[in-house]
Amino acid sequence: MDVINRYHVELRGQPGFSSRAQILLLGADDRERAALGRIHFYDAGVQLPTDAQSDGVIEMHLPMDALAGVIALLQHDKPIKIGFVDGNAILRTGEWEPVGESERD
């Protein structure tokens, strides 16, 4: 799994694109060719495409109602990793999280 160092969010106001929103995930280098993956978000009722990986870039597909949670994860946790296992894109925290982390004294 690769560590995500930077991300870029793109929201689209009208239908006509393949997805309503996209998050581009970058490694240590912020050039687009250093992309680790893209997370595409779709309106309710749209059949989600199958996750895929091509030339090392992972394409993950989620419903639009997952967008806020994914952005919160990227903003508040570190490290975040992305990988592709058994045909599924996986986004996860890189470390074991303590229970009640946000409630520490």
Q: How many domains does the chain have?
A: 1
Whether residue 16 is predicted with pLDDT greater than 80 in this model: the reply is: no
Beta strands across the sheet bearing 21-26: 6-11, 21-26, 35-42, 57-63, 52-54
Whether residue 101 is predicted with pLDDT greater than 70 in this model: the reply is: no
Average pLDDT rounded to a whole number, residues 13-33: 77
Is the pTM above the cut of 0.75? yes
Whether 103 is in a domain gets the answer: no
Whether 104 is in a domain gets the answer: no
CA distances from 38 to 14, 45, 51, 99 (A): 20, 21, 10, 29
Whether 15 is in a domain gets the answer: yes
Whether 101 is in a domain gets the answer: no
Q: In which domain, by residue range, is 57 found?
A: 2-96
Whether 89 is in a domain gets the answer: yes
The pLDDT value given to residue 98 = 73
Whether 102 is in a domain gets the answer: no
Pairing of strands 21-26, 35-42: antiparallel
What amino acid occupies position 51?
Answer: D
